[in-house]
Amino acid sequence: MNLNIEDLHLITLNIGYSEQDGDWNWPKVRSPFGRLYCVTEGSAKIAFKEKEVVLRPGYLYFIPPFTLHDEISDGRFNHYYLHIYEQPGSNFRFLEELEYPVEVEAKQYDIELFRRLVVINPKLRLSITNPDMYDNQSTLLQNIGTSMQGHFSDKTESRGIILILISRFLEKAHFKHDAIDRRIQHVITYIHQGHEESFKLGKLADIACMSEAHFIRVFKQQMGITPNAYIISYKIELAQILLVTTDLPVKEIADKLGYYDSSYFNRLFRKMVGKSPLEYRRNSSPERNRSCRRHRGTTSNTG
């Protein structure tokens, strides 16, 4: 595979160690992030549509984003968990566009890598194990914000460790055989590369070498939504992340995404998310809000 590592941008959402005793049973889990497991004691099962995989010590396990599965355990299951999210805006979506082995043999020092991630990311541990409680858009973006607020040296070390762990699976990964129509994939890559543009359907159809009507029809068949709906959804997702992880003014974020009419951007954001960009930023970034209150000289009664 001829891939560019500069396109691989992974964010640590959660990292921790969990000890379960028959209570790790979650049906129909489907997350927008990838899950890595390193088992230290006991066992569990992951049930996919066509097969079951037993999770056992001595191996690493990876479940890519948007993979429907059941998590099953009837006894002791002690393990490290790592949730990683691929930042939108990359030219290639590594976690979604490659086929990975579920299980690979762990290296002797992999447990130490997980332990180190836990030590330097204490705020990223899950307080609950039920995916229904943490596997949602608002929690996802709060976790992204928390991760991005860490110390630079810790973020640098975390990124290096994650790249080492995911490399175990990349070694045996390959392009999906049932991938999206290559013509549509070219269009999606073009959209990801130029998210600051105002895309014209005619231009996108030309890239796909189709008529405009045929392009819209094929795109919807492949992606489940129209090209315009995909572009809007993608840009609003980027806007949400920028609002949570940066201090950029809303106007500048809108400009970055090709919305030069900030009033239109605000209306579109509210329609898609249910809040204005500023409301969303305040509600999604509690650490930022506490910092702002401190700078304004107010006190907190939480001590």
Residues 223, 134 share a domain: no
State residue 241's pLDDT score.
78
Residues 208, 170 share a domain: no
pTM beyond 0.85:
no
Q: Which domain holds residue 96?
A: 5-175
Name the band, by pLDDT with cuts 50, 70 and 90, for residue 124: very high
Q: How far is CA 292 from the centre of its chain?
A: 27
State residue 14's pLDDT score.
95
Reference 113, options 44, 55, 159, 148; nearest CA is 159
Name the band, by pLDDT with cuts 50, 70 and 90, for residue 302: very low
Question: Which of these three, 175, 194, 210, is where a domain ends?
Answer: 175
Query: Do the Cβ atoms of 198 and 268 come closer than 8 Å?
Result: no
Average pLDDT over residues 164-172: 92
Reference 43, options 53, 28, 51; nearest CA is 53
Question: What's 202's domain CATH number?
Answer: 1.10.10.60
Residues 215, 91 share a domain: no
Kindly report which listed range (7-21, 173-187, 206-220, 266-280) carries the lowest average pLDDT score: 173-187
Residues 159, 119 share a domain: yes
State residue 4's pLDDT score.
73
Which of 40-54, 183-197, 234-248 has maximum average pLDDT? Answer: 40-54
State residue 290's pLDDT score.
42
State residue 93's pLDDT score.
74
Instruction: Give 303's contacts (C-beta < 8 A, 6+ positions apart).
Output: none
State residue 42's pLDDT score.
97
Question: Which of these three, 141, 175, 209, is where a domain ends?
Answer: 175
Domain presence at residue 300: no
Query: Is the pLDDT score of 65 beyond 50?
Result: yes
Name the band, by pLDDT with cuts 50, 70 and 90, for residue 176: low
Name the band, by pLDDT with cuts 50, 70 and 90, for residue 280: confident
Kindly report which listed range (31-45, 62-76, 253-267, 282-296) carries the lowest average pLDDT score: 282-296
Query: Is the pLDDT score of 137 beyond 70?
Result: no
Name the band, by pLDDT with cuts 50, 70 and 90, for residue 181: confident
Name the band, by pLDDT with cuts 50, 70 and 90, for residue 132: confident
Residues 214, 103 share a domain: no
Domain presence at residue 12: yes
Distance, CA of 14 to CA of 58 (rounded, Å)? 22
Residues 196, 158 share a domain: no
| Tally of domains in the chain | 2
DSSP the chain: ----GGG--EEEEEEEEEEEES---EEEE--SSEEEEEEEEE-EEEE-SS-EEEE-TTEEEEE-TT--EEEE-SSEEEEEEEEEEEPTT-SS-HHHHEE--SEEEPPTTHHHHHHHHHHH-GGGS-S---HHHH-SHHHHHHHHHHHHTS-HHHHHHHHHHHHHHHHHHHTT-EE-TT---HHHHHHHHHHHHTTTS---HHHHHHHTTS-HHHHHHHHHHHHSS-HHHHHHHHHHHHHHHHHHH----HHHHHHHTT---HHHHHHHHHHHHSS-HHHHHHHH-HHHHHHHHHHTT---TT-
Name the band, by pLDDT with cuts 50, 70 and 90, for residue 131: confident
Q: Which residue has the higher pLDDT, 175 or 149?
A: 149
Domain presence at residue 195: yes
Query: Is the pLDDT score of 299 beyond 50?
Result: no
Residues 221-240 pLDDT 10s = 888 889 999 899 888 888 88
Q: Which residue has the higher pLDDT, 275 or 37?
A: 37
Question: Which of these three, 175, 206, 224, is where a domain ends?
Answer: 175
Name the band, by pLDDT with cuts 50, 70 and 90, for residue 90: low
State residue 196's pLDDT score.
67
Query: Do the Cβ atoms of 34 and 100 come closer than 8 Å?
Result: no
Task: Measure Cα distances from 140 to 12, 25, 106, 194, 254 in Å.
Answer: 11, 21, 28, 25, 22
Task: Measure Cα distances from 182 to 46, 61, 96 in Å.
Answer: 31, 29, 15
Average pLDDT over residues 249-266: 93
